[in-house]
Amino acid sequence: MNFKRPRGTADILPEDQPHWSHVYSAARKVAQQFGYQRIDTPAFEDTSLFQRGVGDETDIVQKEMYSFEDHGGDSITLRPEGTASVCRAYIENGLHNGPQPVRVFYLAPMFRYERPQAGRVRQHHQFGVEAIGDESAEVDAEIIELGWKYIAALGIKNVTLRLNTLGDPEGRADYINDLDRYFTEHADQLPVVDRNRLERAPLRVLDSKAPETQALADAAPKSVDYVGGESKDHWETLLGLLDNLKSIYPEFSYRIDHRLVRGLDYYNRTVFEYEPLDAGGQGTLLAGGRYDPLIGILGGVDTPGIGFGSGIERMILEMKKQELVVKGSNGPDVVVVALGDVGTAAARLAMGLRASDISTILAPKRSMKAQMRYANNLGAANVVILGDREIEQGVVSIKSLAEDGGQSEVTLDAVSIAEHVRLNQTRCVGNGTAGDR
């Protein structure tokens, strides 16, 4: 019986790594550009953190968390998302004592017990950002801008922003009442799933996938109409800033979607999602929102916050779908080919070259032809050939594997060889032939 990886997990093989590094470096670069600093929190937390943060009732807690009891009898949960942990860290480490808002980002695996599909796995990875300690609409716009820059940095096109405002808890009660009444009046037109949803989470009926519900939802009361006062100013300021963003990036577009909601109580005001224009089922690339009540719920002093999370697997899927080319990794500068019985001289030479910062691989002990082929298949820039003859004469043969590569002899001495290899490289770069290496 062979071992298999657990359901919904993936091996990220060397051939996939270029995509991952591309995404990671874009994320770090964009975060840095906006002044967000990295934070890492544990992969698991007390179960109660997520129960509080997410709400006991939901399916999330009921069936989607990886929870278990550890040897000490504590209930532990593999983190299903990043926000709760970051907020816990903010409270626990007294981050409110520094300049506010605290701007942080994370790149981390998340765990959810789900039925897998493409872009939906049990262990997935997220890039997320949080800005905690500032309730102004400018920060909302900043987060949305950051998300935009991130997607753009990946080269992904044809993405649009959907957004909505959920108002504040006070106004929301009225809204949910009216919404509830509206759908209850039309309950006979709702499919069974949505009638159940109506009882559990009226807001969720809005983003139902059933066509008959969608028609109803379009005419349902809109949360925007229930926001007033500061919340309304906040919303209008945000829209103004987004218009400005649009004037800077012509590709940027947004659409107010009255049916965009969140199932969790702690979200308020701004909610948003980026998705491809031709989005199918698992389409959302990045989703975020404001969660001003959360830190209070978690036991901290009331502190506003906003952030987003974005699944890296989905981004890579989308990049592949859009046929974006990501450069693969380069081969080594040198493969050392050893001929005949040269003892350990070849291995010593490889060490010496690495000591001189030349990336070097020692070819496996095979025929010369096989070693050459090996070097070629690795995409090596040069081979350094070392045999009895070379040792006798105190030289090595260096051959460039470029199309029109030549061969020359250099003193058998790591430093001289390293120098020669570097010269070769600069010459190639000068020619522009190795610009993509």
Report whether 318 contacts 383 (CB < 8 A): no
As measured in angstroms, the least distance from the Cβ of 295 to RNA is 14
- According to CB under 7 A, which residues from 353 to 392 bind RNA? 364, 366-370, 372-377, 383, 385, 387-390
Q: Which is nearer to RNA, 32 or 408 (CB)?
A: 408
As measured in angstroms, the least distance from the Cβ of 247 to RNA is 29
**Which of 339, 410, 428, 434 is close enough to bind RNA by CB under 7 A?**
339
**Which of 109, 228, 229, 281 is close enough to bind RNA by CB under 7 A?**
281
As measured in angstroms, the least distance from the Cβ of 272 to RNA is 11
Give the binding range for RNA (CB under 7 A) out of 26-34, 224-232, 234-242, 258-266. 258-266
Establish if 14 lies at the interface with RNA (CB under 7 A): no
**Which of 176, 401, 410, 428 is close enough to bind RNA by CB under 7 A?**
401
**Which of 67, 123, 237, 282 is close enough to bind RNA by CB under 7 A?**
282
As measured in angstroms, the least distance from the Cβ of 86 to RNA is 10
Establish if 257 lies at the interface with RNA (CB under 7 A): no
Q: Which is nearer to RNA, 29 or 321 (CB)?
A: 321
In single-letter form, the type of residue at position 248 comes to I
Report whether 8 contacts 122 (CB < 8 A): yes
Q: Which is nearer to RNA, 54 or 418 (CB)?
A: 54
**Which of 22, 103, 112, 172 is close enough to bind RNA by CB under 7 A?**
112
Q: How far is CA 365 from the centre of its chain?
A: 41
Q: Which is nearer to RNA, 70 or 404 (CB)?
A: 404
Which two three-digit tokens encode residue 254? Answer: 């947004």
Phi and psi dihedrals of 8, rounded to 5?
75, 15
Q: Which is nearer to RNA, 29 or 366 (CB)?
A: 366
Report whether 331 contacts 381 (CB < 8 A): yes
Distance CA 147, CA 158 (A): 14
Which two three-digit tokens encode residue 18? Answer: 């270029």
**Which of 17, 58, 184, 322 is close enough to bind RNA by CB under 7 A?**
58
- According to CB under 7 A, which residues from 173 to 232 bind RNA? 193, 196-197, 200-201, 204, 207-210
- According to CB under 7 A, which residues from 59 to 88 bind RNA? 59-60, 63-65, 80-81, 83
Q: Which is nearer to RNA, 151 or 260 (CB)?
A: 260
As measured in angstroms, the least distance from the Cβ of 244 to RNA is 26
**Which of 3, 6, 11, 188 is close enough to bind RNA by CB under 7 A?**
6
Query: x/- string (CB under 7 A) for RNA, residues 141-180?
Result: ----------------------------------------
Q: Which is nearer to RNA, 31 or 198 (CB)?
A: 198
**Which of 397, 419, 434, 437 is close enough to bind RNA by CB under 7 A?**
397
Establish if 427 lies at the interface with RNA (CB under 7 A): no
Q: With CB under 7 A as the rule, give the number of residues binding RNA.
A: 72
